[in-house]
Each structure stands twice: as C-alpha cells, then as structure tokens.
Structure 1
Amino acid sequence: MLKSVKVRDYMTTDLVTFSPETDLFRAIDTLIEHRISGAPVVDGEGHLLGLLSESDCLKGILSGSYFEEAGGRVESVMTVVVETIDADADIIKAGEHFIQKHRRRLPVMDEGLLVGQISRRDILRAVKAYNHHGAPK
C-alpha cells in the first residue's frame, strides 16, 4: 500500500529559500552554512521563481570574474525552468521521477505555492517506515 502514501507525508517543509534580490555571495554563505547544495527562489507570496544551485553559483562567479564583476543577485544566475511535483502525488511517482530524471530533490507545490521539498532520502524513509509497519519483507 505504499502507493497510497503522499509526497506531503514525507516532504521537508522547513526550507532555506532565497528571494531573487538576495546577494549572490550571501546566498553562497547560506548554502555553505546549512550544508545544502541548492535552495528554491521564491517571491514574497511563496510562488516558486527558480532554484539556485551550487552549479549556478559557480557559473555566476566564474562568469563575473571573467568580466571582473563577480557577485550580483540570485536572479541573475538562478535556474528558472524547474521541475516540481504536487504535494498529493504518490511517493512512488516521486521515486520514479528521481530514477528517470536523475534528480536528487524536487520542490513540492500545492495550489501554485511552494510548500516543501521531497528528496530521494525522504522516499527511502517512506519505504523504511512502510516495511517496519507490517509490510511483507
């Protein structure tokens, strides 16, 4: 019955997020401090605008240093085409997406707003919980 488990049941809701106006070096400090490889970029109402990854930061720094203008704002380097998953999607769908698309995590949306993030580790927690509660082994 693992298919009846929803993404919302295992997603992380305490997210580090950035605004598009966040200074790039401040964002890098935050990623390092929290030991994360990326974070969603949202507007004041919680609408997902993009994602900022370590790779985006490196590209921004390297491009900026070439022109002797390292830095800038998150909006100038963030990824704007973002794959997401609905909070009511089943956990199996999320797991299949991770395998097929080689993703580590997906922003979780509910009625157009960012409400969390689901990762491969969260899927493993769901499977483990399912197996510890009487599922065939």
Structure 2
Amino acid sequence: MGIKSFQGSRRQQSTVTNDTPLKVSDYMTRDLITFTPDQTIETVMQTLIKHRISGGPVVNEKHELIGIISEGDCIKQISESRYYNMPMQDKTIEKFMASDVDTIDGNMNIFDAANKFLEAKHRRFPIVENGKLVGQISQKDVLKAAMALKGQTWK
C-alpha cells in the first residue's frame, strides 16, 4: 500500500505570462510636456502649475534629451534670486536643470523599474530610443501597472 496524499485538488495558480504587458513602454506616458533650455524659469513654473506636474524633460531642437527641470530646481532659483536680490524673469532654465539624467530602457520589466525608483529616489525617468526622447515613466505609472496586474501572481 502506497502513501496517500490527503491534500485535495488544488486550483492552478495563475501566473503572469509573457503576453501580459510588463514592459515600461506599455505603461509610460508618450504625450509629454517638454521644455527647452532657453525657456525662462517663470514660464516653466507657469507650465508646471497649469498642468499640475512636478517637472519634465528638457529637449533640444532635435528632440534629444538634455536635462530635467523640477519644482525643486525652480524653488532653488526663487530662493537664490531673493537672497541675491536679483530678478529671475530673464533667467533661462539651462543653468538650473539637472543635466546628468538617469533614463530607463522602454523594454525594462515594470518591476525592475519599480526597484530603480526605490534606489534612485526619482519621481520620473525619461525613456530614450535612438537618441530621441520617446516617453517618461513615473511612480504613478508603476502603480497603475501593479493595479492592472492585481490578482495575478507577480513573478
């Protein structure tokens, strides 16, 4: 007499399959508000407020990513202009944007991207293909991806 298993039949657990969209490119925003290095700090601040965004990519005339400008960069400029008692109407963002920009590959797995957000403590990552800015992924986009996959086993 063999050993009998008293474990009832188990329902097969669903797993995320290869056809489930898990790539950054499936969740990134392609319709971006971008800035140019010759725009003034004031214009950028107006755009950030109007569109309720916390920052955005800065591109040149060839749509190549050259930097990122954030609310923090603008606040720093407000503080400095007050400290030095200098107007900021004519100040362009070129000197104040972050030019050493971390990017994410559009083919990266969304969970690897989530990990990169934790490590880098960024709010957003631009996605560049063939030297051109093609999109941006935010922390909120990663949350949307996780909610879309809710109920499935994350592997």
Name the TM-score, length of structure 2 as normaliser.
0.79
Match among 19, 31, 41 for residue 14 of structure 1: 31
Distance of 2:122 and 2:75 partners within structure 1: 19
Give distance in 1, aligned partners of 2:108 and 2:85. Answer: 45
Partners of 1:5 and 1:90 within 8 A in 2: yes
Q: Does 1:84 align with 2:77?
A: no
- Mean Cα displacement is larger for which, 92-101 or 17-26? 92-101
Q: Does 1:34 align with 2:51?
A: yes
Alpha carbons 1:2, 1:127 under 8 Å: kept = no
Shift of 1:136: 4.2
Unaligned runs of 5+ in 2: 1-15
What residue in structure 1 maps to residue 147 of structure 2?
128
Q: Distance in 1 between matches of 2:70 and 2:54?
A: 6
Post-superposition shift, 1:2? 6.9
Gaps of 5+ in 1: none
The structural deviation recorded for 1:56 is: 0.6
Partner of 2:123: 104
Which structure has the highest helix share of the two? 1
SS of structure 2 residue aligned to 1:30: helix
Q: Report the 3-state secondary structure (helix = DSSP H, G, I; strand = E; otherwise coil) of the residue aligned with 2:107.
A: coil
Whole-angstrom distance in 1 between the partners of 2:111 and 2:45: 33
Question: Would you say 1:93 and 2:118 are equivalent positions?
Answer: no
- Give the structure 1 partner of residue 65 of structure 2: 48
Deviation at 1:101, TM superposition (A): 2.0
User: Matched residues in 1 for 2:17 and 2:51: separation?
Assistant: 31
Q: Which stretch of structure 1 is more off in the superposition, 49-58 or 106-115? A: 106-115
TM-score normalised by length of structure 1: 0.89
Distance 2:123 2:84 in 1: 33
1:68 aligned onto 2:85:
yes
Q: Among the aligned pairs, what percent are the same residue?
A: 40
Larger Rg: 2
Aligned length: 135
